Structure 1
Amino acid sequence: MKINNQAFATFIEQKYLPLERKPKIIGAAVLLLLPLIIFFFIWYQPKSKEIATLTQQQNTAAQELEKAKTTAATVNKHRAEMVKVEEQFAETAVLFPKEKEIPRLLTDISAEGQGAGLEFLTFKPLAALPKDFYSEIPVDIQVRGPYHNLGSFLDHVSKLNRIVSVSNVKISAPNKSEGEIILDSSCRLVTYQFTNKKLEPPPAAKK
């Protein structure tokens, strides 16, 4: 805004100089403060509000960013845990033969017994026992042979690439033949078939 120098000089000469001392001081103070007042109301106050608004928006954005980082970290952690669980699941599933692999596994077990020098008297696969996500496949066997051969057979079975457990081991009275102690032994071998099916809950009893 341009100031008319002639008009300003006329104002000083005609209006300001004739005033008494006190009004002059007041007038001078008003003239000095007027630019500050104009600056405050026209520029500083609106800018101050704008700065406060922008600061609040910045704080809110920073909080949202931190929240997003935390959420992303949690998601990444859960994703990593899920990948780990899936890997463990896949590794475990390998130990459980599928249905079509059961006959081959039973053949492998029989071959281990014969390789250990045992005579199979009984080899009887039983009905599968369904469980959550897998089934137990029991096989009752009865073998004849030296005691240490039986131990070797069971050791080899435990080292198969499928899970096979042994239970109900029974040994009859030993007989000596050709300088060796011969035993008749029976046990139940249990292997596990992966089904990936959860058992249906039993129906509620009728009242």
Structure 2
Amino acid sequence: MMAISFREYPWYLQALVFFALALVIIGAGEYLPVSPVAVMRNTLQGHHTKDSDLNRQVAELQVYERRNAEFKIEKAALEKQLDTLKMIVPEEKEVDEFMRLMQGAASASGVQVRSLTSEAVVPKDYHYELPFEIEVDGPYFNIEDFFTRLSRLSRIINVGDLTFSGLNPRSSKFPVRPGATVTGKCLVTTFFSKPGDSTPAPAKKNQPARR
């Protein structure tokens, strides 16, 4: 029997052989571990896995970034509230600042502070009371305006034990402004939060108002 050359096969058989050979080559390239296609596929799969991991990490970091921004906003709001509270109830006594506020209210109301006497500090559960006995004189409605101004100050100030009496310029120990008809005495109390020396400040009596 004579051997038949491949070229002598019918064309459709040759095409079928070439097609089968192509499938074998493609299959070898796809599934053999050492083939360039398989190596490239594994490399791409590795990059895809790393990309997925990075995207997941970025998403987590974005969540933390949003939370961090929210925390910063909350922190700023709390710090602002704390600053406001420190104005209302300071940590220290700040007696000089308190006296400045008192004198400012008196000057704006047209009354005179005749005496300002400090009392003993009174400790409370969460703060300390700092009381002062104060004496003022002036026209009645001016004194009324003075106490109204005290209630509007940024620092909390309570006024108690308020008494009024008529003012006789002839018997007064101090020079009296024209129109001054009333003298008033009261206990003015302010507050501070930080514990410290509870010894009362030196009494300041008969302190004339600054003009």
TM-score normalised by structure 2 residue count:
0.58
Normalized per residue, which structure has more strand? 1
Measured after TM superposition, the shift of residue 103 of structure 1 is: 5.0
- AA aligned opposite 2:123: L
Deviation track 1:61-82 (CA, whole Å, cap 9, x = no partner) reads 1111121122122213312432
3-state secondary structure, aligned to 1:58? helix
Alpha-carbon distance in structure 2 between the residues aligned to 1:113 and 1:29? 108
Distance 1:37 1:152, change over 3 A: closer
Measured after TM superposition, the shift of residue 190 of structure 1 is: 1.9
Question: Which of 117, 121, 129 in structure 2 is aligned with 1:127?
Answer: 121
- AA aligned opposite 2:53: T
Listed as ranges, the gaps of 5+ residues in structure 2 are: 170-178, 197-211
Deviation track 1:85-112 (CA, whole Å, cap 9, x = no partner) reads 3244335424545646315634763685
Alpha-carbon distance in structure 1 between the residues aligned to 2:63 and 2:129? 45
Over aligned residue pairs, what C-alpha RMSD do you find?
A: 4.3
Measured after TM superposition, the shift of residue 168 of structure 1 is: 3.2
Instruction: Determine the structure 2 residue equivalent to 1:90.
Output: 83
- AA aligned opposite 2:190: T
Alpha-carbon distance in structure 2 between the residues aligned to 1:106 and 1:144? 17
Number of equivalences? 180
Alpha-carbon distance in structure 2 between the residues aligned to 1:156 and 1:32? 100
3-state secondary structure, aligned to 2:50? helix
Instruction: Determine the structure 2 residue equivalent to 1:57.
Output: 50
Instruction: Determine the structure 2 residue equivalent to 1:34.
Output: 24
Question: Which of 61, 64, 67 in structure 2 is aligned with 1:71?
Answer: 64
Maintained 8 Å contact 1:118/1:150: no
Distance 1:103 1:52, change over 3 A: closer
Listed as ranges, the gaps of 5+ residues in structure 1 are: 1-12, 198-207
Maintained 8 Å contact 1:136/1:191: yes
Compare 97-106 and 78-87 and name the one that shifted more.
97-106
Instruction: Determine the structure 2 residue equivalent to 1:149.
Output: 142
